[in-house]
Amino acid sequence: MKLNFKFALVFILSSMITLSAFSQIVQPAKWKVEFSKKDVKVGETLEVLIKGDIQDTWHVFSNDFDPELGPILATFNFEKNDSYELVGKVTPIKPHKHYDEVWEGEVSYFEKKAEFRQTIKVLQADVKVAGSFDYQACTDVSGQCVTGEEDFDIALTAEGGSVVKKEAKAEESTPAEKKESKKGLWAIFIGAFLGGLIAIVTPCVFPMIPMTVSYFMHSGGGNKAKGRMNAFFYGFSIIAIYTVVGTILAVVMGPDFANFLSTHWVPNILFFIIFVVFAFSFFGMFEMTMPSWMVNKSVANEDKGGFMGSFFMAFTLVLVSFSCTGPIVGTILVASAGGEVLMPIIGMLGFSLAFALPFTLFAIFPGWLNNMPKSGGWLNSVKVVLGFLELALGLKFLSVADQTYHWGILDREVYLAIWIVIFTLLGFYLLGKLMFSHDSPLKSISVPRLMLAIASFSFVVYMIPGMFGAPLKMLSGFTPPKSGLDFDLPTMIVENAGSGGVKHEKISGKYSDFLHLPPGFQGYFDMDEAIAASKAQNKPVFVDFTGHGCVNCREMESNVWSHPEVAKRLKNEYIIVAMYVDDKTKLPKEEWIVSNYDGKKKKTLGKINANYQIERYNVNAQPYYVLLDKEGKDLVQPTAYDLNVDNFIKFLDEGIKNFKNGKSVAL
């Protein structure tokens, strides 16, 4: 009895909280905008601090994750004037990150406290910074999501009245912009370290270990201590050479160039071609080597002995092994060149540390060399396996260019089909059913090789359902989006769920070229068009206040709308209109409105829809569902996030009943 009483009490209290939340304007965060310091001189820089206090159970999304995932990123607008100029971009300070299964990607958000920073350069004594920012906040307790808009206007007086002219060249990144996530740095380091270990067993590198050890055993003139010092310096030289490459990359490739690398078609097509060429080389079609004059000059300097000889020995190794390490190093550099200064340096440090480790250790402990496997046909097998992987990974660059420029040559089905073929052939190769010109005859299959073949075929089996619409969450960062599928089985099932055999023609209404309802549903995105259709078809209107970045909206659509009984009612008994409150589409000037709620001018489709929801229902949270008659009057009390299908069916049935009886309710 006590447990039942407690449960009832908690249920009643939570229901009261939920109902009260749905009946008022929600303000999940309070914001404060200020300068990082008050004493500043003309010509110096300072930061604009945007700080938020977030209510318990709520979280605010940051601005540093993939905008294509779904949640709305925080966006900032600074009004330009001659008293300052922006330096870099708005930087979030220590947001939380986690993989969200609903959006199939990593999202970034704040809890309890939020902080963003924008660096500015002071150009005049009287500094005035004004602007606005938009954000999205959600809570898992009631399932609500809200979008907020804040204005700011701050000023200060700087020392020195002279005006500093704006420079055309971009300013150096601020310390905040240089601050990388420790998690991201460790991921780059570990991945690069593993790449270095892989490079060791390539045919260009592995045979050089005994030769290198032999060199250092005699480099000390019989003095083992001196020989070991030379070996240490040799390993240090390898690390230094590769890390210098990373440092140069970090200096040359700033954030703008990194963005160019990741999005423009020219570098992506170039990377794709490079990966394919390296793959063909690994398959034995041709050999890739550095120019002989460069290698010969480096080898000649090895004879100088001592530290200088050790350095040129390391330099020779880097040059000679280029044909095998080039694609691995290139992959690390491309992956780490995201505009972060430390990323390429950390990546090359991790790679070179693993790469130099065996050479240094074997030089110090030459007795270990007796236990090392001898070079042979297995090295070429490693090279061929790397060729298959290079071919698969190269497609990612072609896919980026294809998606960015809408070429339509590498949609999800084509991409997955190629990957399925590549990894199937890899499996057959590992089993000895496929041979290349440089391969040795395979008399038997080793256990490690069998395990790799099983892994390859298992990966193929995992990918096959993706051809028919499976999400393939493990590959969400590699494959093109599902919207490119020609045959999407889950969507077809949803489209036919509860339709009762009724086929609906696609509605071509206002904004339907870029806004969409869940798969299988047809409707409008403009209230006037929906009311007109209601009068013409004599059906009530189902209003869906939603958002592109509303997680709980997607949950309602996946778990409630998709139910056959719900789908049947929505498709056959209602006119659906989706009111996106976070859409950034700017409307023509004649369609702008001035809000009666806050007096602000609303220029975008999303802000106009959000203002309609606030002014009429005094609610700014989504999802929010309203049922209207032909005159736009409310048929029932609106409802919100509720995954109970029976409750939603009752809500829809009550609306249908009141519509037929000509009954409306006053809110």
Asked whether residue 104 falls in the same domain as residue 186, the answer is: no
The residue-averaged pLDDT of 614-638 equals 91
Give the best-scoring range by mean pLDDT among 20-34, 83-97, 161-175, 262-276: 83-97
Give strand pairing partners of 494. none
The residue-averaged pLDDT of 610-624 equals 88
Asked whether residue 187 falls in the same domain as residue 159, the answer is: no
The residue-averaged pLDDT of 127-133 equals 91
* CA angle (602 as vertex; 601, 608 as ends), nearest 5: 145
Contact 284, 381 (CB under 8 A): no
The answer to whether residue 628 is domain-embedded is: yes
What is the per-residue DSSP string for 213-241?
HHHHHHHTTT-HHHHHHHHHHHHHHHHHH
What is the band of 250 on the pLDDT scale with cuts at 50, 70, 90? low
User: pTM of the prediction?
Assistant: 0.47
**Is the model's pLDDT at 147 over the cut of 80?**
yes
The answer to whether residue 282 is domain-embedded is: yes
Q: Identify the pLDDT of residue 300.
A: 53
Q: Identify the pLDDT of residue 562.
A: 85
What is the per-residue DSSP string for 425-491?
HHHHHHTTSS--TTPPP--S--HHHHHHHHHHHHHHHHHGGGGGT---GGGTTTSPPGGG-S--HHH
Q: What is the pLDDT of residues 57-82, one digit of tens each?
A: 899 999 888 776 778 889 898 998 88
Asked whether residue 190 falls in the same domain as residue 328, the answer is: yes
Greater confidence (469 vs 581) lies with 581
Asked whether residue 371 falls in the same domain as residue 320, the answer is: yes
The answer to whether residue 469 is domain-embedded is: no
**Is the model's pLDDT at 414 over the cut of 80?**
yes
Report how far residue 93's alpha carbon sits from residue 77's, in angstroms, rounded to the nearest whole number.
Answer: 18
Report how far residue 575's alpha carbon sits from residue 649's, in angstroms, rounded to the nearest whole number.
Answer: 16
Asked whether residue 219 falls in the same domain as residue 88, the answer is: no
Q: Identify the pLDDT of residue 404.
A: 55
Give strand pairing partners of 91. 117
Task: State the average pLDDT for the chain.
Answer: 76
Angle between helices 182-200 and 322-336 (to 10 degrees): 170
Give strand pairing partners of 58. 139
**Count: domains in the chain:** 3
Residues whose CB falls within 8 Å of the CB of residue 489, separated by 6 or more in sequence, listed in order: 468, 469
Asked whether residue 147 falls in the same domain as residue 265, the answer is: no
Q: Identify the pLDDT of residue 570.
A: 95
- The length of the chain is 667
Contact 388, 422 (CB under 8 A): yes
Asked whether residue 265 falls in the same domain as residue 334, the answer is: yes
Give the best-scoring range by mean pLDDT among 26-40, 63-77, 403-417: 26-40
The residue-averaged pLDDT of 560-587 equals 91
The answer to whether residue 493 is domain-embedded is: no
Final residue belonging to a domain, choices 327, 353, 376: 376
How far are the Cα atoms of 248, 255, 262, 266, 344 from residue 339, in angstroms, in the given order?
Answer: 13, 4, 10, 18, 9
What is the band of 345 on the pLDDT scale with cuts at 50, 70, 90? confident
Q: Identify the pLDDT of residue 43.
A: 85
The one-letter amino acid at 531: I
The answer to whether residue 21 is domain-embedded is: no
Q: Identify the pLDDT of residue 14.
A: 44
Name the 3-class secondary structure at 157: strand
Residue 110: its H or E element: strand 105-111
Instruction: Kindly state the tokens that stand for 615.
Output: 């002014």
Instruction: Kindly state the tokens that stand for 517.
Output: 């309802």
The residue-averaged pLDDT of 81-99 equals 88
Report how far residue 62's alpha carbon sits from residue 422's, in angstroms, rounded to the nearest whole number.
Answer: 38
Final residue belonging to a domain, choices 376, 404, 420: 376
**Is the model's pLDDT at 141 over the cut of 80?**
no
**Is the model's pLDDT at 501 over the cut of 50?**
no
What is the band of 354 on the pLDDT scale with cuts at 50, 70, 90? confident
The residue-averaged pLDDT of 155-183 equals 53
Report how far residue 186's alpha carbon sits from residue 81's, in angstroms, rounded to the nearest whole number.
Answer: 41
With 0-12 CB in 10 A as exposed, 13-18 as middle and 19+ as buried, what is 74? buried
Q: Peptide bond before 623: cis, by omega within 30 degrees of 0? A: yes
- Pick the range with the lowest mean pLDDT from 73-87, 160-174, 228-242, 476-490: 160-174
User: Which CATH number covers residue 142?
Assistant: 2.60.40.1250
What is the band of 307 on the pLDDT scale with cuts at 50, 70, 90? low
Contact 136, 54 (CB under 8 A): no
The one-letter amino acid at 316: T
Asked whether residue 192 falls in the same domain as residue 331, the answer is: yes
**Is the model's pLDDT at 519 over the cut of 60?**
yes
The answer to whether residue 169 is domain-embedded is: no
Greater confidence (93 vs 206) lies with 93
Instruction: Kindly state the tokens that stand for 441.
Output: 């005859």
Asked whether residue 210 falls in the same domain as residue 356, the answer is: yes
Q: Identify the pLDDT of residue 663.
A: 92
The answer to whether residue 475 is domain-embedded is: no
Alpha carbon 228 to its chain centroid, in Å, reads 46
What is the band of 444 on the pLDDT scale with cuts at 50, 70, 90? confident
Q: Identify the pLDDT of residue 612.
A: 93
Q: Identify the pLDDT of residue 554.
A: 77
Asked whether residue 145 falls in the same domain as residue 266, the answer is: no
Q: Identify the pLDDT of residue 455.
A: 94
Print the domain residue range for 260: 182-376
Asked whether residue 85 falls in the same domain as residue 202, the answer is: no
Report how far residue 459's alpha carbon sits from residue 432's, in angstroms, rounded to the nearest whole number.
Answer: 19
**Is the model's pLDDT at 347 over the cut of 70?**
yes
**Is the model's pLDDT at 576 over the cut of 80?**
yes
The answer to whether residue 413 is domain-embedded is: no
User: Which CATH number covers residue 580?
Assistant: 3.40.30.10
* CA angle (642 as vertex; 657, 98 as ends), nearest 5: 155
Asked whether residue 348 falls in the same domain as residue 202, the answer is: yes
